[in-house]
Amino acid sequence: MTNIPTPHISAKVEDIAKTVLMPGDPLRAKYIAENFLENSFCFNSVRNMLGFTGTYKGKRVSVMGGGMGIPSIGIYSYELFNFYNTDKIIRIGTAGAVNDKVNLRDIVMGMGACTNSNYSAQYNLPGTFSPIADYHLLKSACDCALGLGLEYKVGNVLSSDDFYSDDSESLSKWAKMGILAVEMEAAGLYMNAARAGKKALCILTISDCPFKGESLSAQDRQNSFTDMMKIALETA
């Protein structure tokens, strides 16, 4: 591709590693770079969507914010996969619990991602596409979590286009189908990865339990989800 830098990423191809960790919050990307990566440098600050590259235990890794919602992560992951030769993107995000057995700070691996988004319509498929994680990334993340002595849950998540739904029963309906948690990006990431022939995984930490009326602060979401960060870095 010749359109580098892109309208959204002001980096050279060689500035970005083959594996990118992608939190929604760019300040979480900055936190990871400052606390876990060695010799890191900032490769992007366009629209304040910060991106950094450094090394973790000798392996080159990048971390970059992806924003909120499928349209946002859809842009950044598309450009990384198709213009910057990224092979793997691991989303490390927050989610709300849907299943009553999922609690605050639990780690959820998104094996699949249901969605109410129309993102897949662009592919003109003769049916319904089921966005799923890359099996090898998922297995590696599970193995890394076990090696770190961390508990986790694996299952289906919901990537919702709306944060404030006009349907007050929507999450209850998804709960009936065994959905573990709701977030806003995984399905779009998984679709972009599938179309590009690349690999993707979504690792989530529960920040809210809407049915229980529980939630964590913005500061907690930015800085305290280190278990999820460690799993992603070990998987990378």
| Long-range pairs of 53-57 with CB within 8 A, sequence gap ≥ 24 | 53/15, 53/16, 53/17, 56/233, 56/236, 57/233
E strand or H helix at 145:
helix 135-147
Please state, in angstroms and as integers, the Cα–Cα distance from residue 119 to each residue in 12, 124, 188, following that order.
Answer: 28, 11, 7
Radius of gyration of the chain (CA): 17
Dihedral (Cα; 178, 183, 186, 189), 10-degree rounding: 160
The catalytic site residues sit at 208
> Which residue from 201, 192, 187 is spatially nearest to 141, judged by alpha carbons?
201
List the structure tokens of 168: 């007050």
φ/ψ of residue 75, rounded to 5: -70, -50
Contact 34, 17 (CB under 8 A): no
Residues, the chain, total?
A: 236
Contact 199, 139 (CB under 8 A): no
